[in-house]
Amino acid sequence: WSGISVDDKRGVVYVGNGNQFTEPRVEESDAVMALAMENGAKVWVKSLAPEQMGGQDIYHLACEAWWDPERKNCSPANPEGHGDRDIGAPPALVTRSDGKDVIVVGTKDGMLYALDPDNRGAVLWNVRVGKGGELGGIEYGLAADDRYAYAPVVDANADMTSNGALTAVDLITGKVAWRVDNIVADCADKPTPPCGNAVIAPPTVVGEVVFTGLLDGTLRAYDKHTGTEIVSYDTAREF
């Protein structure tokens, strides 16, 4: 349920997949797929389904009692419990400062991965940047330059409170370089929920600055080297 990345050099497109709704488990669930541009054939498939869930993510919102107490639209084959940890952010093909190409992938499980496009999507590193969950983790996109990946984290709860964050991760080592969290949301005279500090929109890196939008309607700019806030602008107002 996201966009794709085009790799002209290798003649493929990279697709990030959502979770499956019913059993049995398939390898393409919560996976990054490389598809040949010439004919759409699968070149490789790399599943990133959470290890803590047994490498599978079989989930349907209709199976949640908080969504529908009767669970009347839940498939009998669908297990009870939590899931929904799939790939909502488009995989990003990035060239690092050392010249190596990597595919950066963020998941709703709060994980950030670097995959090797020259080794069938083998995981080069992974790091947790959020708690993840049905309303958590990395949702819609991320940004990167040749040094860092900039991962936004939603981490909203069922009551729509949140603990959003923006994390810069070194593309070579997979180590966290800096992290901005515990952001004080500007929710004065705004409906709560949904107003909060969830970092839900894809960030943008331009020059020395990372721009990102929060669920309180503010556009914030951070120094891309340190994470220091430069400016905040409230867009949720009359113009």
CA-to-CA distance for 169 and 146, rounded, in angstroms?
Answer: 11
Write down the residue that tokens 């990102």 correspond to: 212
Q: For residue 147, give the DSSP letter.
A: S
Mean pLDDT of 70-90: 80
Q: What pLDDT, on a 0 to 100 scale, did the predictor assign at position 81?
A: 57
CA-to-CA distance for 196 and 238, rounded, in angstroms?
Answer: 19
> Which residues, listed in sequence order, are joined to residue 210 by a DSSP beta bridge?
205, 222
Mean pLDDT of 192-210: 92
Upstream peptide bond of 193 is cis (omega within 30 degrees of 0): yes
Whether the predicted pLDDT of 75 surpasses 90: no
DSSP per residue, 194-217: T-S----SPPEEETTEEEEE-TTS
H helix runs in the chain, sequence order: none
Whether the predicted pLDDT of 149 surpasses 90: yes
Give tens-digit pLDDT for 218-230.
999 999 999 999 9
CA-to-CA distance for 141 and 89, rounded, in angstroms?
Answer: 4
CA-to-CA distance for 80 and 115, rounded, in angstroms?
Answer: 31
Q: What pLDDT, on a 0 to 100 scale, did the predictor assign at position 112?
A: 98
CA-to-CA distance for 48 and 56, rounded, in angstroms?
Answer: 9
Q: What pLDDT, on a 0 to 100 scale, did the predictor assign at position 23?
A: 83
Whether the predicted pLDDT of 80 surpasses 70: no
Burial (CB < 10 A; 0-12, 13-18, 19+), residue 98, is exposed
Which of the given ranges, 66-70, 78-82, 83-87, 168-172, has the highest pLDDT on average? Answer: 168-172
CB atoms within 10 A of CB 148: 25
Q: For residue 226, give the DSSP letter.
A: T
Q: What pLDDT, on a 0 to 100 scale, did the predictor assign at position 17?
A: 96
Whether the predicted pLDDT of 136 surpasses 90: no
Q: What pLDDT, on a 0 to 100 scale, did the predictor assign at position 24?
A: 87
The token pair at 118 is 């020259």
Give tens-digit pLDDT for 28-42.
999 999 999 999 999
Q: Are 153 and 167 in contact (CB under 8 A)?
A: yes
Is the full-model pTM beyond 0.85? Answer: yes
